[in-house]
Amino acid sequence: MQQSIPRLSTRLLIGSGFLAAVLLIGTIGFAILEGWSLLESFFTTLLIVSTLGFSDLRPVDTYGRALTIVLILAGVGTLYYIAVTLAQSAIENQFGWGRRRQMDQQIARMRDHVIVCGYGRVGRETCRSLARHGAPFLVIDSDPARLATIQADGYLALNGDASDDATLIRAGIARARALLTAVQSDAANVYITLSARALNPSLLIIARAATTEAEHKLRIAGATKVISPYVLGGRSMASMALQPAVMDFLDLLMHSDDADTWLEELVVGPDSALQGMRVDETNLRERAGMTILAVWRADGRMLVNPPPDTILKHGDTLIVLGSRAAADRMGD
């Protein structure tokens, strides 16, 4: 709807300009051809263009009749153009309001979703990965021209400034599980992070940074994790050169749609049967065909390939390897 406003203004400006030109030509034309005063010529032109009051017209000669025909055709055409433009705008606004209301209702039903800020190259690939994992998410972008692209890709789109509190509240930031800010400007990412952290202190915020300075500022602003596409790209290229099989294996687990195995997180909750068990007592491999690769403690420590006697505690997150079906069952 916001995208149609400049287009409407341009079309109305064109129509108004053409109408003014028709009135000017008619006024000057009658003043020259018929010798009338400018006021009388303008009044006559106005009657002709509006197609009202033909009975009030003064008699004119052949040239005056020709000018009258031209004014009728041009005037009716111009008024029709303006009327169609206004009607189209009213219809677009009505449908746009309906779409916005429907979208707001969809967002209001979302829980534990991800908010993606920015739909550039990084944001678009982020959305593809989220969609592959079946995670609920929506996209915020300030460029109205990108809305059609986002919607064509099948994603829920919200047009607005992601650093604006009203936009984030509309996106359901209080109910979201994470916010990913991937706009191209580091300054914009900092502002978005500040706004998001103020609105939801416990939110997981992952921010994109192009420079080392921006990474430091983003952490101060409240980002939980800061990602540099250039650093990640460089590390991936080096790892691919040195450990190609390992990288292919990880890529298969994390990004393939056809892989039978899956890396998943299992959180040990307060009512979990795993709480208080030793790793070798969980029997996850026998029960669900899953292997515990690491235990992420609540205090941030990561126990890779944990010993069999490791006690699982409330708040631990298990990094497990297994089938997608098994991961889904254990997650439930």
Cα gap 19→150, rounded to integer Å: 39
- The share of the chain scoring above pLDDT 70, in percent, equals 88
Both tokens of residue 222?
């409240």
Do β-strands 302-304 and 317-323 pair in parallel, antiparallel, or remain unpaired? unpaired
Whether residue 106 contacts residue 157, with contact meaning beta carbons closer than 8 Å, is answered with: no
Cα gap 112→137, rounded to integer Å: 9
pLDDT of residue 36: 86
Residues with Cβ within 8 Å of 57's Cβ and at least 6 positions away in sequence, in order, are 44, 47, 48, 68
Pick from 164, 141, 167: nearest CA to 153 = 141
Query: Does residue 328 have a pLDDT over 80?
Result: no
pLDDT band at 2 (very low <50, low <70, confident <90, very high): very low
Domain map (residue ranges) of the chain: 4-106, 111-227, 260-331
Cα gap 88→331, rounded to integer Å: 50
Name which of 69-73, 277-281, 321-325 the model is least confident about: 321-325
Name which of 3-12, 133-142, 175-184, 190-199 the model is least confident about: 3-12
Both tokens of residue 168?
């984030």
Rounded to two decimals, the pTM is 0.63
Pick from 161, 165, 226, 159: nearest CA to 195 = 165
Query: Alpha-carbon torsion 102, 108, 111, 112, what sign?
Result: positive
CATH 1.10.287.70 applies to domain 4-106: yes
CATH among 3.20.20.140, 3.30.9.10, 3.40.50.720, 3.40.50.150 for 111-227: 3.40.50.720
Question: What is the three-class DSSP state of 262?
Answer: strand
- pLDDT tens for residues 204-237? 999 999 888 899 999 999 999 999 988 888 988 9
Residues with Cβ within 8 Å of 116's Cβ and at least 6 positions away in sequence, in order, are 123, 126, 127, 130, 137, 138, 139, 140, 180, 182
Query: Does residue 53 have a pLDDT over 80?
Result: no
Which CATH superfamily, name and number, covers 260-331?
Regulator of K+ conductance, C-terminal domain (3.30.70.1450)
Q: Round the average pLDDT of the chain to a whole number and report it.
A: 85
- pLDDT tens for residues 94-140? 555 656 677 778 888 999 999 999 999 999 999 998 998 889 999 99
Whether residue 139 contacts residue 127, with contact meaning beta carbons closer than 8 Å, is answered with: yes
- pLDDT tens for residues 248-279? 888 877 776 666 677 888 889 888 888 999 99
pLDDT band at 324 (very low <50, low <70, confident <90, very high): low
Both tokens of residue 118?
């920015």
Averaged over 177-203, what is the pLDDT? 95
- pLDDT tens for residues 129-187? 899 888 999 999 999 888 889 988 989 999 999 999 999 999 999 999 999 999 999 99
pLDDT band at 15 (very low <50, low <70, confident <90, very high): confident
Both tokens of residue 132?
């592959």
Whether residue 115 contacts residue 173, with contact meaning beta carbons closer than 8 Å, is answered with: yes
- pLDDT tens for residues 74-96? 888 888 888 888 887 776 665 55
